[in-house]
Amino acid sequence: MKIKFRSWDWTNKTMDIPDNIANDIDGDVYKLMQFTGLLDKRGKEIYEGDIIKRSRLYQVGFDTGCFCCDAIGDRISSFHLCRYVSNEEYEVIGNIYENKELLEVR
């Protein structure tokens, strides 16, 4: 699997997939998010920071060396992404930067 990243530009409020990544990326300007290596049910790449949906919404993160998902509105409901996600079940519906409204508890 190829290690890939995307970046959120805090200044311009845009998401981009950079051609290459410099060692001196300014964290105040860009937030890097790593590709999990997984695709959703439509074949879309799943990245850190994505919001995915099955029966509920989950936020994709990275913790203790593993990609994981936290149920939005319920921090107790968390699981390791790579172990439980199959591309037939989940769909990327947004991300935490461009779709903040999805993070609101319903």
User: Could you read off the pLDDT of 39-90 as tens digits, one per residue?
Assistant: 899 999 999 999 999 888 989 988 878 888 888 877 666 666 655 566 668 8
Task: Please report the pLDDT score of residue 12 as a whole number.
Answer: 93
Give domain limits for the chain.
5-103
* Mean pLDDT for all residues in the chain: 83
- Strand-pair partners of 16: 7
From the DSSP assignment, how many helices (H) and strands (E) are in the chain?
Answer: 1, 9
Average pLDDT over residues 4-26: 84
CATH topology of domain 5-103: SH3 type barrels. (2.30.30)
What's the pTM? Answer: 0.84
State the burial class of residue 47 (Cβ atoms within 10 Å of its Cβ: 0-12, 13-18, 19+): buried
Return d(Cα 33, Cα 75) in angstroms, integer.
21
Task: Please report the pLDDT score of residue 33 as a whole number.
Answer: 93
